[in-house]
Structure 1
Amino acid sequence: MSIIQVEGITKKFNGEKGIFDLSFGINRGEVFGFIGPNGAGKTTTIRHLLGFMKPQSGRTSILDLDCWSQSKEVQKQLGYLPAEIAFPEKMTGMQLIRYLANMRKLGNLTKAEELIHRFQLDPSGPIIRMSKGTKQKIGIICAFMHDPEVLILDEPTSGLDPIMQSAFADLIREEKRQGRSILMSFHMFEEIEGTCDRIGMIKQGRMVSIVQTEEIRNSSKRTYAIEFTHLAELESIIHKPFVVKEINADQRRLIIEIDDARMNELLHELSTRSIKSFREIQSSLEEYFMSCYKGEYHHV
């Protein structure tokens, strides 16, 4: 049974906005990346999981608790980081951490202090004077400090510099090893590729694709950039049965995609032509999901 379960939820707003028949699950010890452009429905989905919205149809549950009718019980089990952080600015960072720790009846601040050290944070200053990155660190600490079983993190690396992004990725991997179930929404693919087990892409309120991260890395399809000595040689190969992704006639450059099983066929064609360069372009999650967004793939 999934720890986080979204079952065919629909929530329509004005016009075509909203989410429609959305379904996915997240298992214990799994990190699920949620990708989509602004307005695609990521935050609306998260609000349903937090119990802030009631679906018009379908159901969301966490730890087998209904997110709407049992929202108070659900929220006790969660660590949540919103995309837009609005802290009480008259407090210092440490005052806020202690305040939230008291609300959760934490016996000590051991985890919070470990995270303060990990993220090189000085929480003693007033929140009103803090940068976006510093506020983001406080938000991360508040989401993690009570060791929740489930974490929902909306754009968690927003405002963090590359060193802190790396520290955050290490934290996610550690929490995964401890069996946490984690939903993270992102718009940057680099963080997803290093932390997530599965990735779902939402487009206009509908799930376009759910895929295992390893499936992308181990795909049998390969993409190659080939530069020819003469333009006529480029023109003669584009009519062959390969998938042409891009043509640059001025540079006599061609990008094609083929399956591993057809590699010998490609090499045979190239052996009869004069080639200046031939290199593989490593596939990436960004390329895959851009293809999904353009409608070239549909894999749920």
Structure 2
Amino acid sequence: MTHHELTVKSIVYGRKRFLKRWPALLEVSELTKSYHEVRGVKNLSFQVESGTALGLLGPNGAGKTTTIRLLMGFMKPDLGSASIWGLDCWRDRAELKEITGYLPGELHFMEQFTGQEFLDLIEGMHGAPQTIRKKQRDLLRALELDPKQRIRKMSKGMKQKLGIIAALMLDAPVLILDEPSSGLDPLMQKTFIELILEEKKREKTIFMSSHHFAEIERTCERVGMIRDGELLAIQDITLLKQKERQTFDIEVSGEEDAELLRQSGLTLYPLDQLKFTIQVTGEQELLWKTLAQIRVRRFQQGSLELEEAFMHYYHSSLRGDNT
């Protein structure tokens, strides 16, 4: 048995011991990949710890899929490095497949197979332990997929479910998912989110790209924002939302209070004579000074959607006024 084979077995079967050695389970350092005509990625650096999920947001062509292909060892980086559980993503790419559940952004199946035949093939490639078969059944039930149908007759959503099942049923400690809920209806998107939350409870390390802001917001602690192949920032989702514009709904006791609010300098959106929405960007000192001077019947902080926070951060970076 080779050194790498021993390493992989210690990862899979001696997880607690290995975690002590590799606290940063997925680590990227100054990762760079260039193409002649297609934009790549430049100087990417980030980490994902055990039991956490990092989501990558950005427009088409920003570098999300290139990043994932580098992590999966499908391409050799020009500069920098990426490692998962201490395995180099390029040099140890064969061993890496043993500990990684992967869902590509573009699914390509053997169309003549039934869904079950495809899943059986994946099972056989991983030794077909009983735990895989049980998890497969649970996933088929959760995603409401009949695997007896031939893949060529499946809709895009059904094929997406099949890809998700193939990635999750292996019970790999690391999940790398490219646009995982693409093609799913809203009900199945919700089910997918619940499945990912269950995986996190089991200390899985998850890296995923997505166009669905709600999906990232529900499943990830941190979000990376990428544009033109460069990482703008890695932000804690809660802090990102707090840092950007926030809204507050307020109802004051009388017209005198309403007039004081109008004259305060705060950004107001009247709802009726005594009710307003207040929008605050950055520091909230003026808000709290104003509230101390008026009688308030009701005051509630509105939730800032991740999509709004991301778009504000993204466009402010284009203007060069984001710190």
Q: What is the TM-score of this pair, normalised by structure 2?
A: 0.78
Q: 1:83 and 2:108 equivalent? A: no
- Please tell me whether the aligned partners of residues 244 and 313 of structure 2 are also in contact (alpha carbons under 8 angstroms): no
Q: 1:257 and 2:280 equivalent? A: yes
Q: Which residue of 1 aligns with 2:171?
A: 147
- The Cα shift of 1:14 comes to 3.1
One-letter code aligned to 1:61: S
- The Cα shift of 1:146 comes to 1.2
- The Cα shift of 1:151 comes to 0.4
Identity of aligned residues (%): 41
Structure 1 residues 129 and 17 mapped into 2: Cα distance closer, same or farther (>3 Å)? Answer: same
Cα distance between partner residues in 2 of 1:16 and 1:117: 40
Q: Where do residues 184-263 of structure 1 align in structure 2 (5 Å cutoff)?
A: 184-219=208-243, 222-224=246-248, 240=265, 256-258=279-281, 259-263=283-287
Say which SS state the counterpart of residue 56 (structure 2) adopts: strand
- The Cα shift of 1:88 comes to 0.7
Q: Which residue of 2 aligns with 1:104?
A: 126
Gaps of 5+ in 1: 247-252, 272-277
Q: Which residue of 2 aligns with 1:44?
A: 66
RMSD, aligned CA: 3.2
- The Cα shift of 1:12 comes to 1.7
Say which SS state the counterpart of residue 167 (structure 2) adopts: helix
Cα distance between partner residues in 1 of 2:268 and 2:46: 32
Structure 1 residues 245 and 140 mapped into 2: Cα distance closer, same or farther (>3 Å)? Answer: farther
Q: Where do residues 1-300 of structure 1 align in structure 2 (5 Å cutoff)?
A: 1-14=23-36, 17-108=39-130, 109-219=133-243, 222-224=246-248, 240=265, 256-258=279-281, 259-267=283-291, 281-295=302-316, 298=322
Cα distance between partner residues in 2 of 1:255 and 1:14: 49
Q: Which residue of 2 aligns with 1:275?
A: none
- Please tell me whether the aligned partners of residues 223 and 255 of structure 1 are also in contact (alpha carbons under 8 angstroms): yes
Structure 1 residues 177 and 55 mapped into 2: Cα distance closer, same or farther (>3 Å)? Answer: same
Cα distance between partner residues in 1 of 2:244 and 2:210: 26
- The Cα shift of 1:174 comes to 1.0
Structure whose residues are more often helix by fraction: 2
Structure 1 residues 45 and 90 mapped into 2: Cα distance closer, same or farther (>3 Å)? Answer: same
One-letter code aligned to 2:190: S
Aligned length: 285
Gaps of 5+ in 2: 1-22, 270-275
Q: Which residue of 2 aligns with 1:250?
A: none
